[in-house]
Amino acid sequence: MTRQVNRWTILLVLCVSLLIVALDATVLHVAVPALTEDLRPGAQQLLWIVDAYPLVAASLLILFGTLGDRIGRRRVLLMGYGLFAAASGLAAFAPDPQVLIGARALLGAGGAMIMPATLSILRQVFPDRRERATAIGIWSAVAAVGAAVGPVLGGFLVEHFWWGSVFLVNIPLMAVMLVVARVLLPESRGGADGPWDVTGALAAALGVFGCVFGVKRLGGGAGALDAMVWLPLLAGAALLVWFVRRQRRRPHPLLDVRMFANAAFSTSVACIVVAMLALVGLELIAVQYLQLVLGLSPFQTGLRLLPLTFAAMAAGLAGSRLLRRYGPRRMVSAGFVLTALAVLSLTAMGQRDRPGLLTTAFVLLGFGLETTLFGAYESMLNEAPARRAGSAAAIGETSYQLGAGMGIALLGSVMNAAYTPSAAGVGSADRAAADRSLGEAYTVADRIGGAPGAALRHAARQSFVSGLHLTLVVSAALLLAGACAALRLPRVMVCVPCEDTQETAAPAALPRPALREAAPAGRSGRAGD
């Protein structure tokens, strides 16, 4: 009984860690107007304030995930807590945009330490696949809660205090987590033969940074021929190709790329990328639709999206039972199909509000998406060796971030190509401004006024809805392609003892979760620091 209590207590600590990081990913969004008024950042500075966190976090996931396999996952997690708290204090009292950008980058580095560590420790603490599936379901449900609660918490703090309070709240939480994690979390390591490949780690970080930066620039409206899109994108891709070739040649690779030879592992990673590719860009467009076409306030928009979050939480909590009953192949494929049907149903939306249809579609979309991601993450972790849990977790999180960035770029490009409002009586300069976005079209229409302004507003809204419908169809096609790819996953959930766990020798007095995996010869078998 003691062992089980220990495991679920550890899961609670890991979930609280993830919750804080997930909150910080979205809590800043509602504080942007307030900090803009206070710090007066330029357009590029504001872009970096928002993007520095996800860019740096995505870039460093592989570095810190593999470092945790070598020096200890709990140790990296504790360092992440400390860095996250220090960066939060710096961000809260940033005197100018440059300091805030630097603080956001440090927050991204702290998040990159925390995110893969939580998942890799979970992989070690729950060696039994049935229990681990339940734990991953709870873990993923907490991530959904954090992403949804972030804007609500941020709005409350900004309204009652000042914009820096959205960062300041992290400090006491991280201080508590440092103490609790130090006492309760087990230390675990993976294979640590040979020197750590610092050159490879830096190449991977720079490669991912270049790719994510390039796709973010493309999704942010930069032209397809913009050098700041293709130069970082091509340089990042070249570095990643060099990194993979380097890892294949090394006797003790930083990242065991042979994991991708396992069809279930590589398919799981591909499913994560496709799911995020199809949905993240769509989510941003949906928010614009709710606010600019239907005229809902930001608070009303958040309420409309809550059913999606609640459905995702329910899918995460039910995921373990669904996986045991239907197996990874049917579960992930069905999740993709359900999400595609939900997306296609949204093509019935027009310029008038249909709350019943929206709510039903969002519930199906949230349940289907979380079912897909749950099955893919669980299969990916199960197929990876326990000694490579940090690497596998980092790959999963990196694929999530890459899919999200590519989704914004791809679906944003589809939307931009389809959005071509035209109305009589509008000058070329005003028409060019209206073509950039629906919000700018409204601004131009208000300035023109009269019949031409009303005609432009109607044309822009109609063009946006038509573009949204095309984007929905493209997104559904991607999701159905993901359903076909998921057919390569195992048909049933096989629950056998993990080979790495069987090799772990345990002193009788120590609880099983506290043991490190297969310590290399010549190393101490001591648990913890």
Same domain, 27 and 139: yes
Q: Are 136 and 374 in contact (CB under 8 A)?
A: yes
Same domain, 54 and 115: yes
115 falls within a domain: yes
Alpha carbons 507 and 179: distance in angstroms, whole number: 26
Same domain, 210 and 266: no
522 falls within a domain: no
CA nearest to 269, candidates 122, 398, 115: 398
Reported as a single tens digit per residue, the pLDDT across 456-501 is 888 888 888 888 889 899 989 999 999 999 998 888 766 555 444 4
29 falls within a domain: yes
Domain carrying residue 306: 258-494
Same domain, 327 and 389: yes
The pLDDT-based confidence of 26 (bands split at 50, 70, 90) is: low
Which pLDDT belongs to residue 442? 83
507 falls within a domain: no
Reported as a single tens digit per residue, the pLDDT across 404-414 is 767 767 777 78
Q: What is the pTM of this model?
A: 0.74
Alpha carbons 20 and 73: distance in angstroms, whole number: 18
521 falls within a domain: no
Same domain, 134 and 77: yes
Count of structural domains within the chain: 3
Domain of 179, CATH number, reads: 1.20.1250.20
Same domain, 213 and 265: no
Share of the chain above pLDDT 70, in %: 82
Same domain, 246 and 276: no
- Per the rule left: phi > 0, alpha: psi between -120 and 50, beta: everything else, 450 is left
Same domain, 397 and 436: yes
526 falls within a domain: no
Please state, rounded to an integer, the average pLDDT across all residues of the chain: 78
Same domain, 270 and 136: no
Same domain, 287 and 186: no
Same domain, 131 and 244: no
Residue 224 exposed, middle or buried by CB count within 10 Å (0-12, 13-18, 19+): exposed
* Whether pLDDT at 509 is above 50: no
Same domain, 427 and 309: yes
474 falls within a domain: yes
504 falls within a domain: no
* Whether pLDDT at 153 is above 80: no
